[in-house]
Amino acid sequence: MAFLISFRTWCAVLLVSLASGICRAQTFNEYQVKAAFLYTFAKFIEWPPQAFAEPSSAITICILGEDPFGRFLDDAVRAKSVADRPLIVLRIANLPAARECKILFIAASERRRMPALLAAAARPGLLTVGDTAEFAAQGGVIALRLDGERIRLLVNLTSADKAQLRVSSRVLSIATIVR
């Protein structure tokens, strides 16, 4: 009988431990979801042919400003490729370092100089992504907006056209279009 009680107690403790671990694992993490979106954009954006020097050139995802992702972005793209192009993550301190970037995430820490950064970053083949409230309206291609526990996409098609990027209908079907 004592063994049965101990066993039941042990099972209850194990069940509570597992349940709390599962709940913690399912906790919404904004930047883990945004990292997954950046990886997904690499699959659903069509770049102009001149954007890549070689057919096997990497798709470089750059972060400008204070990195909000931690390891989430690195983990999301580790050992992955899109159309035989490896994915690379770089943290950069200034726009001249963005020459090889195909996706440029401009962090909220750069909010004060966002219009100037977007104007300077505008070039064919560069997908600009950010998560400030006014990002798409200021000329960024895709804004990732937190809405409760959901991430909403805003796509500026005029900016996408200027960058000669084709945004897949799969992305557009879940986005709000900004012009």
Single pTM value for the model: 0.84
157 located within any domain: yes
12 located within any domain: no
Query: Tens of pLDDT along the chain (179 residues)?
Result: 443 343 343 333 323 333 333 333 446 799 999 999 999 999 999 999 899 999 899 999 999 999 999 999 999 999 999 999 999 999 999 999 999 999 999 999 999 999 999 999 999 999 999 999 999 999 999 999 999 989 999 999 999 999 999 999 999 999 999 98
168 located within any domain: yes
SS3 labels along 25-64: HCCCCHHHHHHHHHHHHHHHEECCHHHCCCCCCCEEEEEE
Please report, for the domain that includes residue 84, its CATH number: 3.40.50.2300
Number of domains in the chain: 1
8 located within any domain: no
60 located within any domain: yes
46 located within any domain: yes
How much is the pLDDT for 27?
Answer: 63
How much is the pLDDT for 14?
Answer: 29
170 located within any domain: yes
1 located within any domain: no
Asked whether the beta carbons of 107 and 68 are under 8 A apart, the reply is yes
* Residue 138: domain span: 29-178
How much is the pLDDT for 179?
Answer: 80
Amino acid (1-letter code) at residue 30? E
Burial classification of residue 110, based on how many CB atoms lie within 10 Å of its CB (0-12 exposed, 13-18 middle, 19 or more buried): middle
